[in-house]
Amino acid sequence: MNDHLKPMTAYTATVTVRLKQGVLDPEAETTKKALQRLGFELESLRSADRFELDLDAESADAAAERADEMAERLLANPTIHDYEVEVESRE
Amino acid sequence: MVGVTVAIVQFGGSNCDRDARRALSHVGVDAELVWHEEGLPEDPTGIMLPGGFSYGDYLRAGAIAANSPIMAEIREAAEEGVPVLGVCNGAQIGSESRLTPGAFTTNASARFQCERVHVRVENADTPWTANYDEGEVIELPIAHGEGRFEVTDDHLAELNDEDRVLFRYCDEEGNVTDEANPNGSKENVAGVLGESENVAVLMPHPERISLPDIGGTDGQGILQGFEA
């Protein structure tokens, strides 16, 4: 390993997983109805899962790549989900 | 080895494993319970992924179990032609591991549903359905919160063309209707084949309707698929 040659930076990768457009979201629908019962006006409601991954990587791209692989392998189900990855450096 | 020994794979949270063994035994199929961390026994003659709530359904039902090391062994065995049957949570594990197509996700009702349903046998030319006739209506119990079959329209058309849909939810007469669809599954799909016919998953529980003393035997034929 040449880790000592390439300084690692601390990042937080945020993976947001959403149902693909057109895939029914019964929980969101139920939540929307509950809000309407409380008297709120709204057209529609979409929910998403958000995963915040603290990791060390050589670069923001490397951090994004790793988070992307995690989404592909486990965090999202490509049959029903789209996902996006955002990376920020962490203190 | 005498007869057939099927490995029923237990994960933390599996809860239909012993029912499955009992029902299999009733139809003459020897089966043993296998803890997933132990790996598969040598040369199993079948593999069953039982129902339950593996890993507490965390993330998505079946997602964590689908990524456990034993699944690589199961995939290899499946490719060698070993019969693999996933029931309920086992079906979710099957689709999450991409052994079988599509996904099983939150019921349209957003509720856990525990009831008897009717399904129509769509393809009777597989080991899992050979004991039924095509178009036959059988009664099976369901017990799931995430059983709605989702798949892209194109992929579903492909599955239909390839005769990989095994069962569809229907009414007592065999009509496949929205009213008879308990969970909003696309085209009422209740069970499908994997890439080859030795791999099958379904959301209903055949093992819960295979002992005559507890309410019926309609599920026996599916379990007998291990002998075919």
* pLDDT score for A50: 98
Contact flag B60-A77 (C-beta cutoff 8 Å): yes
Nearest Cα of chain A lies from the Cα of B95 at a distance, in angstroms, of 9
The mean of the pLDDT values for chain A is 94
CA–CA separation, A16 and B35 (whole Å): 33
- Which CATH code for domain A3-89? 3.30.1280.10
Q: Which residues from A are below 8 Å from B when comparing CB atoms?
A: 23-27, 29-30, 73-75, 77, 79-80
Average pLDDT for A49-57: 98
B150, β-bridge pairs: B103
C-alpha distances in Å from residue B139, one per residue of B21, B112, B117, B168, B217: 21, 19, 6, 11, 9
- In terms of residue numbers, what domain contains B182? 5-226
* pLDDT score for B156: 98
CB burial of residue B102 (10 Å; 0-12, 13-18, 19+): buried
The secondary element (H helix, E strand) that includes residue A27 is: helix A26-37
Residue with tokens 């095509």: B134
The SS3 of residue A40 is: coil
The CATH number given to whatever domain includes residue B212 is 3.40.50.880
CA–CA separation, A29 and B205 (whole Å): 28
For residue A73, list chain B residues with Cβ-Cβ distance below 8 A: 67
Residue-wise pLDDT tens digits, B36-60: 999 999 999 999 999 999 999 999 9
Nearest Cα of chain B lies from the Cα of A54 at a distance, in angstroms, of 18
* pLDDT score for A91: 82
CA–CA separation, B28 and B173 (whole Å): 31
The secondary element (H helix, E strand) that includes residue B159 is: helix B153-161
B36 is catalytic: no
Q: How many CB atoms lie within 10 A of CB B172?
A: 9
pLDDT reading at A4 higher than 70: no
Residue-wise pLDDT tens digits, B127-180: 999 999 999 999 999 999 999 999 999 999 999 999 999 999 999 999 999 999
Contact flag A73-B67 (C-beta cutoff 8 Å): yes
* pLDDT score for A6: 76
Contact flag B105-A27 (C-beta cutoff 8 Å): no
B170, β-bridge pairs: B118
Please tell me which of the candidates A29, A73, A80 has its beta carbon nearest to residue B150: A80
Among B16, B36, B88, B144, which one carries the catalytic annotation?
Answer: B88
CA A39 from centre of chain: 30
Helices then strands, counting H and E runs in chain B, come out as 6, 11
The mean of the pLDDT values for chain B is 96
Token reading at B12: 């933390």
CA–CA separation, A47 and A52 (whole Å): 16
Nearest Cα of chain B lies from the Cα of A51 at a distance, in angstroms, of 11
Spell out the domain ranges in chain A: 3-89
The domain tally of chain B equals: 1
Nearest Cα of chain B lies from the Cα of A88 at a distance, in angstroms, of 24
Listed in sequence order, the residues at least 6 apart from A72 whose beta carbon sits closer than 8 Å to its beta carbon are A78
CA–CA separation, B152 and B159 (whole Å): 11
B207 is catalytic: yes
The ipTM is 0.87
Contact flag B151-A79 (C-beta cutoff 8 Å): yes
Beta carbons of B221 and B204 less than 8 angstroms apart: no
Residue-wise pLDDT tens digits, B8-19: 999 999 999 999
For residue B148, list chain A residues with Cβ-Cβ distance below 8 A: 24, 26
Beta carbons of B130 and B178 less than 8 angstroms apart: no
* pLDDT score for B3: 44
